[in-house]
């Protein structure tokens, strides 16, 4: 069976390994079936869609809406790589799941707009599937209402052209969408457990996702949250990509 590819876009080294491991466990894959590429260190090159069963794009402290003149050369290259991946996946309707930061890149490729209006501080949030989400082969494995962990400074202002809205939250209308049959994007983090999210908060304590002096309170809220469903979406992503490949 073909491997899957996880593309990491985080420049914070302390967060990279744990993110990969969270994703691997959530997808139910052995290490040899989930390849790992750090885009901050190595260019993607030609998207390897013929060689892999599917691709998952992780989160990042980068923001797509940062003015181009203020982006580092590394961030500009990462976004160029992810944009080329998105264009290739859209052209072939290839299984790719863009999460958090990745949804911003895909939204821009699709001609959508991003802004800060629908930002969400890091926390557990409740999401609701749309009727299209309930019927979707990937997202439909989730309950109509479920909780997930999210934290982002930018989001889609509106659903991008040609996308199908699959889930929303009270504070952020565009939480999950699909383009074609097999390209998906989520604003929330489907891979993290409460323990993962708490560990990630230590790395990003001073990045503005929550008040830095409230780390203990943040950790207590996360530990008490009931977030059990989102990982099912990643297992389902693997099942569908393997079956279709």
> pLDDT exceeding 90 applies to what percent of the chain?
94
Q: What is the CATH number of domain 4-244?
A: 3.40.50.880
Residue 245 has pLDDT above 80, yes or no: no
Instruction: Note whether 55 and 245 are within 8 A (CB).
Output: no
As given in the structure block, the two tokens for residue 212 are 């830095």
pTM of the full predicted structure? 0.96
Position with higher pLDDT, 7 vs 13: 7
Spell out the long-range contacts of 42-49 with Cβ–Cβ below 8 A and sequence spacing 24 or more.
43/77, 43/81, 44/7, 44/81, 44/82, 44/84, 44/85, 47/84, 47/85, 47/88, 47/89, 48/5, 49/88, 49/89, 49/92, 49/94
List pLDDT tens digits, range 17-36: 999 999 999 999 999 999 99
The pLDDT assigned to 54 comes to: 98
The pLDDT assigned to 125 comes to: 96
Chain-centroid distance, C-alpha 103: 6
List pLDDT tens digits, range 176-223: 999 999 999 999 999 999 999 999 988 998 999 989 899 999 999 999
The pLDDT assigned to 244 comes to: 83
């Amino acid at each position: 069976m073909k491997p899957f590819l996880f593309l990491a876009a985080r420049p914070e080294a302390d967060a990279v390994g744990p993110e990969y491991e969270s994703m691997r466990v959530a997808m139910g894959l052995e290490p040899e079936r989930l390849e790992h590429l750090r885009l901050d260190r190595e260019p993607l090159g030609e998207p390897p869609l013929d060689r892999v069963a599917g691709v998952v794009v992780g989160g990042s402290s980068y923001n797509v809406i940062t003015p181009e003149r203020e982006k580092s050369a590394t961030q500009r290259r990462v976004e160029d790589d992810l944009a080329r991946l998105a264009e290739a996946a859209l052209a072939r309707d290839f299984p790719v799941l863009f999460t958090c930061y990745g949804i911003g890149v895909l939204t821009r490729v699709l001609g959508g707009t991003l802004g800060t209006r629908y930002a969400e501080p890091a926390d557990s949030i409740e999401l609701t599937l749309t009727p299209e989400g309930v019927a979707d082969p990937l997202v439909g494995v989730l309950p109509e209402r479920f909780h997930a962990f999210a934290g982002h400074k930018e989001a889609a202002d509106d659903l991008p052209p040609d996308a199908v809205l699959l889930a929303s939250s009270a504070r952020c209308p565009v939480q999950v969408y699909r383009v074609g049959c097999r390209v998906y994007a989520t604003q929330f983090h489907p891979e993290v457990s409460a323990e993962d999210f708490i560990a990630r908060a230590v790395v990003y304590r001073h990045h503005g996702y929550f008040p830095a002096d409230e780390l203990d309170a943040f950790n207590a809220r996360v530990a008490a949250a009931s977030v059990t469903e989102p990982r099912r979406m990643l297992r389902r992503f693997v099942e569908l990509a393997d079956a279709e490949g």
